[in-house]
Amino acid sequence: MGSVTLRYFCYGCLFTSVTWSVLLFLYFNLSEESRSFYRNVPIKGLQSQGFQHRFQPRFTRGPGPQYRDGGQNRKGQKPDLSPEMGMIFNEHDQEVRDMGYHKHAFNVLISNRLGYHRDLPDTRNEKCKERTYPLALPTASVVICFFNEAFSALLRTVHSVLDRTPAYLLHEIILVDDNSDLTDLKEDLDTYLQNNLRGKVKLVRNEKREGLIRGRMIGASHATGEVLVFLDSHCEVNEEWLQPLLTPIKKNRRTVVCPVIDIISADTLVYSPSPIVRGGFNWGLHFKWDPVPMSELNSPDGAVAPIRSPTMAGGLFAMDRSYFNELGQYDSGMDIWGGENLEISFRIWMCGGQLLIIPCSRVGHIFRKRRPYGSPGGQDTMAHNSLRLAHVWMDDYKEQYFALRPELRNREFGDIGERVALRQRLQCRSFKWYLDNIYPEMQVSSPNNKPQQPVFVNKGLRRPRVLQRGRLRNLLADKCLVAQGRPSQKGGAVVVRDCDSRDPEQEWTYDEEHELILAGLLCLDMSEIRSSDPPRLMKCHGSGGSQQWTLGKSNRLYQVSVGQCLAVVDPFSHKGYVAMAICDGSPSQQWQLEG
Ligand SMILES: [Mn+2]
């Protein structure tokens, strides 16, 4: 008797597990909803394989045939990313996103989903596209230093160079690993390079952390091409980026050139053009972007002619290799990061070279809101490096710096004998000559120590066009999203309350920047780091990301940088709390903007 019961129990178990397996199989294979947003994504294989890709080792979707055929029917069109590219489907996605922000300060979930190749909008001026460049140009060694970079961002940098550089100009790519401790940058990277990029990419590993400055010198010492091109490890080069950089160097080997640095959003990875600006600095020895003076724009070529720039941003530039050595490379007494870009800029101009920004060369760069790593001892390398450059290059003008940083006046900065000797050997001009001739806009009497304007996120004063206006009603609770307190209160929470069509404090504006503005005052905003926090009302910053929302299918209200949807917590509670949740299309996540 007992054994019969047991047997039927086992049959039951078997039947149940088979049913579940079939159901799960059907769910994962037929779930159109979940993968619809991959439609525009230029990674081979994603569409046909459905969900499989998430469980594959990522190497399988690295190189291989690219989404180039798309060029046929998409020519002239801007390759757009779906705003829902960062949607979170499960805990694993959530972890990738949150850890990514923590370690890299940008959206690694989207970066991984983009893969290693993608089309970019051609952001050059139309006139650049008509230009031709000499066929005989010097060859380039591209040097990319990295420290704990996100694997997918690093590989996209490398592949963008391989995809968009004529092979005969690309002598080599040299990667310098500055003793990273992220495990995937060790064997996984070795394997990937060996299997896919053998002979194209050299990898140099530092035994100890050297920092960006010595890291670049190490990379340069391994290079054998005629021109060195330094890139950050989270860049993507655009169409025909290298030829316009090499051409002025061929003409005059004492020319150092920078591309225009386009913006890749840290939250959405969307690529957009930068305005044409040039490099300056303030007396705190911080780099800043300046508008280009009219005198530079008057040439017959106007918008596409090279622009003389007093300084460079530092991460991206090209320079004749023998000239780099002749000019004293970098100051090896500088640590990790900071100040080296001003030092090399001053040195170029003061010692007989010139520094140009080339508007027809475009390279995208992920602009992060913070630097996700420190220095080994936690020391202020920016101050140490700035002190060295002030003492070697700035003559009496270093007093301008000390006036702002009196605490540094007696700070130790190491031995600068070699650099002083270099300045003498090269017979460099005075800092006064540099200010008078290269940067006359610099105010000496009234130190320019105002906080820097973030030029890159500045989209100007234009107000975004309003797409829709109305109350934002949750369909399940039949209530409207309003401020918990006053709609003018910065940092205030939002809740759902009874709708009132006459109440102006319930009116939301939805604009072309995908912002949701309550009562014409503040924007609905999500914390970048802690996606578990509820949304709040914050001052509109106009740079997308945390304030970017899309009203998607099945009435969902999707938050772009968090990858989740807005939901009411308990539709029957009078508290009316709302929170972000994984988008599941449930009624509690359905909203309508009603005019
Ligand atoms: Mn960077």
Question: What is the C-alpha to C-alpha distance for residues 156 and 62, in angstroms, rounded to an integer?
Answer: 9
pLDDT at 10: 64
pLDDT at 378: 73
The two structure tokens encoding residue 227: 């021109």
Q: Does the pTM exceed 0.85?
A: no
pLDDT at 51: 33
The two structure tokens encoding residue 44: 């081979």
In 3D space, the residue among 290, 257, 254 whose CA is nearest the CA of residue 428 turns out to be 254
Q: Which CATH number fits domain 466-594: 3.10.450.30, 3.30.460.10, 2.80.10.50, 3.40.50.300?
A: 2.80.10.50
The residue type of 104 is H
Cβ(310)–Cβ(296) below 8 Å: no
CA of 366 to the centre of ligand 1 (A): 7
Residues 6+ apart with CB under 8 A from 471: 480, 481, 499, 501, 506, 507, 508, 593, 594
CA of 97 to the centre of ligand 1 (A): 19
Other beta carbons within 10 angstroms of residue 373's beta carbon come to 16
CA of 146 to the centre of ligand 1 (A): 10
Angle at 453 between CA 448 and CA 456, to 5 degrees: 140
Under CATH, which number does the domain 128-369+380-457 receive?
A: 3.90.550.10
CA of 544 to the centre of ligand 1 (A): 20
- Segments of 427-484 assigned E as strands: 466-474, 479-483
CA of 428 to the centre of ligand 1 (A): 30
CA of 491 to the centre of ligand 1 (A): 30
Cβ(321)–Cβ(141) below 8 Å: yes
Domain boundaries, the chain: 32-114, 128-369+380-457, 466-594
Cβ(46)–Cβ(56) below 8 Å: no
Other beta carbons within 10 angstroms of residue 504's beta carbon come to 9
Cβ(389)–Cβ(343) below 8 Å: yes
CA of 546 to the centre of ligand 1 (A): 21
Question: What is the C-alpha to C-alpha distance for residues 522 and 499, in angstroms, rounded to an integer?
Answer: 19
Question: What is the C-alpha to C-alpha distance for residues 44 and 117, in angstroms, rounded to an integer?
Answer: 9
Reading the chain (595 residues) residue by residue, the pLDDT tens digits are 456 677 877 677 677 777 776 665 655 554 433 333 333 333 333 333 333 333 333 333 333 333 333 333 334 445 667 888 999 999 999 999 999 999 999 999 999 999 999 999 999 999 999 999 999 999 999 999 999 999 999 999 999 999 999 999 999 999 999 999 999 999 999 999 999 999 889 999 999 999 999 999 999 999 999 999 999 999 999 999 999 999 999 999 999 999 999 999 999 999 999 989 999 999 999 999 998 888 777 777 777 999 999 999 999 999 999 999 999 999 999 988 899 999 999 999 999 999 999 999 999 999 987 777 777 777 788 999 999 999 999 999 999 999 999 999 999 999 999 999 999 999 999 999 999 999 998 987 554 444 444 444 344 446 788 999 999 999 999 999 999 999 988 899 999 999 998 899 999 999 988 999 999 889 999 876 666 788 999 988 887 888 999 987 789 999 988 888 999 998 888 899 999 998 988 899 999 998 8
Cβ(258)–Cβ(185) below 8 Å: no
Residues 6+ apart with CB under 8 A from 248: 255, 257, 306, 356, 358
Host H or E run for residue 280: strand 277-281
